[in-house]
Chain A
Amino acid sequence: MEVFLRADLLCLTQTPKSPLVCSAPLTHGKRFQLWSLGFHQPERHLAKRLKHNSFYPFTEQQPNVFVLEYYLDTLWKGTLLFVACLVVVISVLMNQVQRQETWGIPAYGVVIGLWLMISSLPLRRLVLNHPHGTYHFSIQGRTVYQGPMHLVYLRLAFNSDARGRCFFQLVLCGYKLEPLVLLQLSEHYEQVEYLGRFIARKLNINYFDCLAVSYRHVVRHWPLRTNTDSTSIAQTRSQTYSKMSLNL
């Protein structure tokens, strides 16, 4: 089963590349593509998506310029929480419990849901510009950060449950970026690593393994050495290779 899936994944490299579509307007459906991660066999799900678009989740606007526009998944979670708690508040207001005002508890849910919804409504836009050597992250047109390419990376993250079973996920993160989970909770290390290296090669960004010190890192962009002070270079390296923070 695993060999068959590996061969299936390998055929990603053998399909001919589709001709470039220059300056096509980004469709609205692509903004929600990060929401569905596939619960059963997430590697096959991601491999299928990579077959359709080899620069998933980005789209190539110009040669070596990749653009990603997305909404955070807290949008639907916040909306769901808001609607559910609003229903509970209205039903609780109808009947009281022991002369206690209990509508306050779902009212908290309403406020939190509203906050999550409003904070995720602005559209996020991440642009990887290789000819310039910078990446640009903006929220609804307002620039959050623009920096060098070595600060964006793809990380294989590692989780384990109480019994010792290991779960891996692929996260695209960077400095002042929101971590984006591309593959969630898979147990097959080799397939996840293959997909991660494939995506990082296509997008030409760094790829890091789950351990902090490992021979499996692929570093394509190094931090710039601006001055000869060795301590600042060491600080830059430790910041670059520090462990990522998993999103909540």
Chain B
Amino acid sequence: MATVATCGGDAVGVGSAVATASKSNVTSFQRRGPRVSGTNDSGPRLVSITGTRPSVRNGQLLVSTGLPALDQLLGGGLAVGTVLLIEEDKYNIYSSLLFKYFLAEGIVNGHTLLVASANEDPANILQELPAPLLDNCKKEFDEDVYNHKTPESNIKMKIAWRYQLLPKMEQIRPVSSSRFGHYYDASKRIPQELIEASKWHGFFLPEKISPTLKVEPCSLTHGYIKLLQFIQNIIYEEGFDGSNPQKKQKNILRIGIQNLGSPLWGDDICCTENGDSGHNLTKFLYVLRGLLRTSLSACIITMPTHLIQNKAFIAHVTNLSDTVVGLESFIGSERETNPLYKDYHGLIHIRQIPRLNNLVCDESDVKDLGFKLKRKLFTIEWVQDNYLRQERNIYPPGFSYLLKQKDSAWGEGSLQHSTFLMSFLAKATAFASRLVRHSEPLKQTGSGRIRQAAGPRLWHDGRRQEAPGLLGIPP
């Protein structure tokens, strides 16, 4: 077996691929392992940690986010050493649910948790985690799926046939032997014994800093500094970064930070328009990512970006994070009554997927995704354009070729694509129909002095005129 780049002081990341382009005569054998550049002597052994699996694309170690549907959209899962940033929905209902799924997945897999919050005690957060769906609930799960199956899903489409070729997002049934990605019942609480059996660390901001402490100005907000020191402490002491040869940690640290950037953290980015003049949040994210890249950990952060008025700042934060997912719930918005969205609770936008160890990334082709929270499941589906699926005969013959075009540079299947197309076609046909003559030209029977066609003499601007018809031959 080839051992490449594990000897020598600085290991390249144990999961390096031995490409055929390398000079040594080895086969293109791709070793899968954790992407930790700090571990220098874990050697070429295959490291298998519960709850992780290597990515099929680049051998990156992945953990589940707690939602198998989201794992699928992110290309298999969340890469170890990266940050998942969730842009909160307006009332922080579904984003806190995703946060809890992430932590619950950690408990079920036996990972160590680190929960940081400024407004809620981490112990309370852990009490409210959803209960995992285990194998004895498999039968009820199947019944749920069959009840919700829509009858129109198997109609063959005639005009919009391209949409039939797009794969449906099937719900994966829970397999008893799978150790990656579990399903949770949002209505039940996690059993107490699971919490007690797990290892977790909590960071509750009001406990860690005292308000009367005089703080000298430094580069970051005091709360952020304390959190970074806390995280670094845990990583170092429990050996997640592999620097401690005694403590060979073979576990993942799941870090969850709730409502980062909210005023409770001492940051003013959400309050003022030109807040964050000290760039606290961006520096925090940068140093946090530096900590994560050199340790076996994955982090979820929820951020109330809808409160941030400085849009350029959101672009900075997106560039400094790895995976960014935005949630938009329909509660209280005009979309709640839109018939297109009647089955869904909100939209989910995958804003960024990182390209790690690779030139390409696994971007999903489907861009309009909606989510709904059924009794037990949080599902993510493609919001299908009902106008096209119902196949109303609104396309005059001759225009349907636009739908049958081979891969165009238009966003396929997107709502913008189809609504634009519809409105364009409607306008085009309306305009074209006015140009078409509505009657046959009359044969010349008279002297030729009749100078108008027997048709509507009403032009598009409303004036009645004598149109110079076909019979306008001067006498």
- Whether chains A and B associate is no
